[in-house]
Chains A and B, each alone.
Chain A
């Protein structure tokens, strides 16, 4: 609105015209204090100019006392003013019930029921800011009373009466509708702003942000969006194809739905890109002619769901891998055991013993959630069936990873089984000394059988010794040696504690 510069004379003329107008006018500040009133207004409210200027309207006219109805009346009037301040547009109150305090000739005051119809117009200053509200109000109490009388006694109604009653009824309906729409709009706006999903409205060929809610601000890292085209507001999404999608929606008029679509937004520290997964829709908004005028963006951040799904898939894959590998290991034990045991009974015995050995190490590992196990624990577990006093462990604490633990479990099992069949654990007196140490992250271990029957070197290398040798070389990346000394077997083993990172 262009501000009109007035000469002194013109301003005086305007003020005189304002004062002389038969229509009641008042001008209020933005905090609703009187700055100007004309005579018609003073007449209609029954006050003197000096009673009003500088005072707050609501202090003087409270809507008719202290009751709920009075408060509601005042609220409606205040809401109309506030709409003017918020929107900068005129606001109309077709009908408002607003009793006022009247001072009679004898000086006594009373509350008089009044009905009004009012228009509130913003008056801007040079900078275009709303500086005043101009109220044009008409006392329509007589019309309203007439209408009530007509409604109460139809027989006496004249055509004019009926007409005005209809006009009044329409005005009242309109006002009720306006208020209802207004509060509905506010409620929708509230829902829009507070919705857990993100919402934004983009218009024009450049997709300019018209509005967006809190969730959208959160998603995009609280930057300034409104009034900016997408390219400027969210530059990082252009190369990711989202601008093309918006254009496609605008050109075709068909909505686009994205499911768990990844988008990289610069919301990390120092604007670093972070991936979010979104379920969303680009809904075309059409104007009165049916053309696409904008795009309504609505959706949910489903990053947590997608990531949880990915973690679950990884865990299932890992579980599957372990189970299938264990099955293959068991299959291997079965096949290799079968090759060295012709009789079903001895096969079953050997197979089960190896299976139990594997299971023991699994138990140990389960205790630490598969983080690892200690060498001494594995030795004890795998050999306790042969009597706790006969195998004598001696060495420092050595923590092994799960693969090393499983491997050593099998090695100790094969050594103990072999000692029970052919070595020191056959007779009651034999014992096994197991000594180990760590130096330069390398474990050196010696299994020494003593006090057993005289040693006869094994003629053929059975599955047991092949398994030991393979385990050491393959799984432990170490070296081993069997010495069949006359006093008893000496098995030496060295392996690196940490496998060299590859």
Chain B
């Protein structure tokens, strides 16, 4: 079901597990969002957001193929793109300087992703 406010928003996904990425894409499409792109590796992610490319929001897995996602997070932060982190590490899963940022813990439901995106995009519940 499309969510008013989220409809048409482009969301960038960084996730190294293909099945989890597929799940996220399905969830995002169900909400009416457009997947801006999906990256499984940090270098790919940085390439996809280079230059003027600017998604409306980003969902970032913290641990990407043994690396942390923070270089991508910093690049997006500089562009003013709202971020949602996803992690299996729990509450204390974010590194210094990123604590308190919106986070969803794996495994997550569609509702959790929706609420997190609406919060960072500052969309009020209809």
Question: Which positions in A face B, CB cutoff 8 Å?
Answer: 317, 320-325, 327-333, 335-336, 339, 403, 407, 410, 466-467, 470-471, 473-475, 477, 499, 502
Does the CB pair B22–A332 fall under 8 Å? yes
Looking across the interface, which residue of chain A has its beta carbon closest to that of B20?
Answer: A328
Assembly CA distance A47 to B42 (angstroms): 99
Smallest CB–CB gap between B109 and chain A, Å?
9
B26 within 8 A of A: yes
CB under 8 Å from chain A, chain B span 79-99:
87-90, 93
Q: State how many angstroms separate the Cβ of B83 from the closest Cβ of chain A.
A: 19
- Cα–Cα, bound, A339→B63 (Å): 28
User: How many angstroms from the CA of A470 to the CA of B18 in the assembled complex?
Assistant: 6
Chosen A-B contacts, 29 in total, with CB atoms closer than 8 Å, are A317-B89, A317-B93, A320-B89, A321-B63, A321-B87, A321-B89, A322-B88, A324-B106, A324-B107, A328-B20, A328-B106, A328-B107, A329-B17, A329-B19, A329-B20, A331-B23, A333-B19, A336-B23, A336-B26, A467-B18, A467-B22, A470-B18, A470-B21, A474-B16, A474-B21, A475-B17, A475-B40, A477-B41, A499-B65
B residues in contact (CB < 8 Å) with A: 16-23, 26, 38, 40-43, 63, 65, 67, 87-90, 93, 105-108
Closest CB-CB distance, A381 to chain B, in whole Å? 19
Q: Which A residues touch B43, using CB under 8 A? A: 502
Q: Is the CB of B23 within 8 A of A332?
A: yes
B104 nearest CB across to chain A (Å)? 10
Total A-B residue contacts, Cβ distance less than 8 Å = 80
Tell me the minimal C-beta distance from A19 to chain B in angstroms: 84
Other-chain residue from A317, A320, A470, A477 in contact with B22 (beta carbon distance below 8 A):
A470
CB pair A332 B89 closer than 8 Å: no
Q: How far is the CA of A397 from the CA of B38 in the complex (A)?
A: 32
B107 touches A327 (CB 8 A): yes
User: Which A residues are in CB contact (< 8 Å) with B26?
Assistant: 335-336, 339
Knowing A321-B89, A502-B67 are in contact, say whether A327-B22 is a contact too (CB < 8 A). Answer: no
| Beta-carbon contact of B67 and A475 below 8 Å | no
* A407 close to B18 (CB less than 8 A): yes
Q: Which of A322, A324, A329 has the most CB of B within 10 A?
A: A324
Closest 5 CB pairs of A and B: A324-B88, A332-B23, A474-B18, A324-B106, A332-B19
Which chain B residue shows the least CB distance to A317? B89
**Partner pick for A328 among B17, B38, B40, B90, CB 8 A cutoff:** B17
Q: B122 to nearest A CB, angstroms?
A: 27
Inter-chain contact B106/A502, CB cutoff 8 Å = no
Q: What's the Cα separation between A370 and B23 when bound, in Å? A: 25
State the Cβ distance, B45 to closest chain A Cβ, in Å.
10
Q: Which residue in chain B gives the minimum CB-CB distance to A475?
A: B18
Chain A residues near B18: list those with CB within 8 A.
407, 467, 470-471, 473-475
Residues of A near B41 (CB, < 8 A) are 477, 499, 502
Nearest residue in A to B67 (C-beta to C-beta)?
Answer: A502
